[in-house]
A and B are shown apart, each in its own frame.
Chain A
Amino acid sequence: MEDIEKPFETKELTISMGPQHPATHGVLRLVLNLQGENVIKCTPYVGYLHRGVEKLGENKTYFAALPLTDRLDYISSMNNNVGYVVAVEKLFGIEAPERAKYIRTILAEMGRLSSHIVWLGTHVLDIGATTPFLHAMVAREKILDLFEMICGARLTVSFPRVGGIRNDISQEFLDQLYAFILDFPAKMDDYETLVTENRIWKERTVDIGVISLEEAVNWGLTGGTLRGSGSDYDVRKYFPYDAYDKVDFDVPVGKNGDCYDRYLVRVGEMRQSIRIIRQCIENLPAGPVMADAPKFTLPPKDMVLKDMEHLIHQFILITKGPTVPEGEIYVGSEVPKGELGFYFVSDGTGKPYRMRVRAPSFVHASALTRLCEGGLIADVIANIGTIDIVLGECDR
């Protein structure tokens, strides 16, 4: 092959994919250097959705910063909320009651399901199959309806609270959720029939965007993107929070580190989420849903209106924030995209001195450079889908 002379010189073509592009999941911008259809270099540019969440967090009390986390990864805001309150609780040194922990686990897994549904739909849609997207969205609607039932919001829920959850959930909610998860595995089979064993799907994803375990760790990948390469690192297993140490679930692990394995891992995770929700509902303990820690949790509203003590507590907590032990803390949680970490530096006041969000989407977007190299344009699309990024979280 080498001794064939090139008939003419070819030049590199640089195209800017995004920030407005149908397949970049929001406002990701990739500058691709192309030689024909081959990608020589792929450079991600981020920051189009920067809102300064970390800085805002430093200017709000620990309670008031919770809604900001909704806007990180807006596809799975429930998981961000749970990750945030788990981190803040650890900083405060308080613990939520058992019932609240179980409910938060249920909600986080619902969030994971809805996020993975969006991922499945858009990933498959990017590669050209339109039907699974619309079929999957039907199931997501049901989850959002359930969220609406408990807190009135569908996307930006802000439902968990530091020290527990906002209010107890109803029996009707549990019944509907139980019916949903009994029904859902059959729906999963439906989505998978169109995709998993599809020849074209396999040709488009097997051996595409391969990343070895060692490299994946070096790039800082987490979540399904890392587990596709063969690691079983899952924050829920390694550093359990909420009720994850009390439920029985497997961590699906891939082998080759290609798009197809990452796809299988995430699809496996959806089935595990069903298992977790089911166990949590079946073993849901009775009891209060807010921790009994008056210094760190807002008092109940009706008591504020009746009782002087509670009114003073409420006033101080809202205006000044709680008195927090000095120090720093990093707590990670497993959100659908990977490991979402909150790092707080506390100077003893009611607001964090520094709030840092370790956003998995940001780390994964940086790995696009590595994943897309040497592939074709179509592989770039497959890779964007497979790392499952949300730009709200990436740009913060």
Chain B
Amino acid sequence: MNSFLEPILAPFFGLMLTNIVIILIKVAIVIGITLLHVAYATYWERKVIGFMQFRLGPREVGWFGLLQPIADGVKLFFKEDIIPATADKPIFYLAPVIFFVSALTSLSVLPFFDGFAVANINIGLLFLLAMSSLGAYGIVMAGWSSGSKYSFLGGLRSASQVISYEIAMGLSLVGVMIMSGSLNLTEIVKAQSNYPTGFYAIPQILGFFVFFVAMFAETNRLPFDLPEAESELVAGYFTEYSGFRFAMFFLGEYTGMLIMSAIGTLCFLGGWTLPKFIMDLLPFLSELPPIVWVVVFLGKVYFFMFLYYWVRATLPRYRYDQLMNIGWKVLIPLALVNIVFTGTLKIMGWF
């Protein structure tokens, strides 16, 4: 992308400004496309779950209800912005922004295909984990500042949940780091494509399992949607939010899901690449334009998203203490075992 844009823009802006402009263009593209995906992820969720539950899902607005997410967005934009009298106003304003921005910032390090990432940094994986923890601040602040006890409980639940599962998730990814020897997401994907199985999910099955479970907890989805457990806490931490502030939480949550799916895809399912043995078998594949690999990447991401929906339609919700038990007594030990196992094999030279 740089090589394509630089000659065009350089005469107008000079070299340094050009780089900034290119980054801004990339940011705009990534955010625009992601928000579109977020909107249609909700549409797809409603269709998929509707199909599983003998319902139709959206079908009135536009063809097959395709304009429904747009209509929802417009509705949320124009809704009255209600702020409770007991709310701590500055924090109340800030909370959804933090949540949403931290979700969007994570996008900057995701490589969508070879060479396309807004910031191809060396600690990409660490950055993603940091950003997803930062999102928890938004939730806690929202719960605290709303001046509602339900929100408060939701915020507290979320704080402990995200902290517990952050550890499990971080540890589950250590195996991948050991195998690939890098924290750079592009490097991880490249290392995978050269690996015999094509993706790390096969040797890292334990890590993949831990990551998969923690993924649901990180994004507050069923069966771990305790911070917003509808039947217990009404709507949890965003009970008091309405209009566009609510929309920011909503979009942030779905962006979070997409990001978690993307991490899963990049670290365990080989990102935009296909396994090496397939590439060797069908050599013409390497001649295809990059757009094909974006589609491969999105296909894998949406596979994860489908799992999110499927689990939501299938499972009941865990209780708070059970959730903690699973996090600390099952997932973290499993992840540690995985690290020891992977490390030992690495030293013995098997990986």
Residues on A close to B: CB < 8 A?
13, 15, 21-23, 37, 124-131, 134-135, 138, 194-195, 198, 200-201, 203-204, 376-381
Residues on B close to A: CB < 8 A?
49, 52-55, 149-150, 153, 157, 222-223, 225-226, 229-234, 312-322
Q: A200-B318, A376-B320 are in contact. Are A381 and B231 (CB under 8 A)?
A: yes
Q: In whole angstroms, how far apart are the Cα atoms of A37 and B233 in the complex? A: 12
Q: Write out the residue numbers on chain B whose beta carbons fall within 8 Å of the beta carbon of A129.
A: 314-317
Output the nearest chain B residue to A199 by Cβ-Cβ distance.
B315
For A131, give its contact among B53, B150, B234, B318 (CB under 8 Å). B53
Q: In whole angstroms, how far apart are the Cα atoms of A134 and B314 in the complex? A: 12
Min distance, Cβ B329 to any Cβ of chain A, angstroms: 14
A379 touches B319 (CB 8 A): yes
Q: List 13 A-B contacts (CB under 8 A).
A: A21-B234, A23-B230, A128-B223, A130-B312, A135-B54, A194-B314, A195-B316, A200-B315, A200-B316, A200-B318, A201-B316, A204-B319, A381-B232
Q: In whole angstroms, how far apart are the Cα atoms of A71 and B223 in the complex? A: 36
Q: Write out the residue numbers on chain A whose beta carbons fall within 8 Å of the beta carbon of B313.
A: 130-131
A135 touches B53 (CB 8 A): yes
B319 touches A203 (CB 8 A): yes
Q: Write out the residue numbers on chain A whose beta carbons fall within 8 Å of the beta carbon of B225.
A: 128
Q: Write out the residue numbers on chain B whose beta carbons fall within 8 Å of the beta carbon of A13.
A: 149
Interface of A is mostly: helix
Q: Write out the residue numbers on chain B whose beta carbons fall within 8 Å of the beta carbon of A203.
A: 318-319, 322
A134 touches B317 (CB 8 A): no
A378 touches B223 (CB 8 A): no
A134 touches B55 (CB 8 A): yes
Q: Write out the residue numbers on chain B whose beta carbons fall within 8 Å of the beta carbon of A138.
A: 54
Output the nearest chain A residue to B317 by Cβ-Cβ distance.
A128
Q: A15-B149, A204-B316, A379-B319 are in contact. Are A134 and B231 (CB under 8 A)?
A: no
For A127, give its contact among B49, B153, B316 (CB under 8 Å). B316
B150 touches A15 (CB 8 A): yes
Output the nearest chain A residue to B152 by Cβ-Cβ distance.
A13
Q: Write out the residue numbers on chain B whose beta carbons fall within 8 Å of the beta carbon of A195.
A: 316
B53 touches A23 (CB 8 A): no
B234 touches A22 (CB 8 A): yes
Q: Write out the residue numbers on chain B whose beta carbons fall within 8 Å of the beta carbon of A15.
A: 149-150, 153
Q: In whole angstroms, how far apart are the Cα atoms of A377 and B314 in the complex? A: 23
A377 touches B317 (CB 8 A): no
Output the nearest chain B residue to A129 by Cβ-Cβ distance.
B316
B232 touches A23 (CB 8 A): yes
Q: In whole angstroms, how far apart are the Cα atoms of A23 and B232 in the complex? A: 7
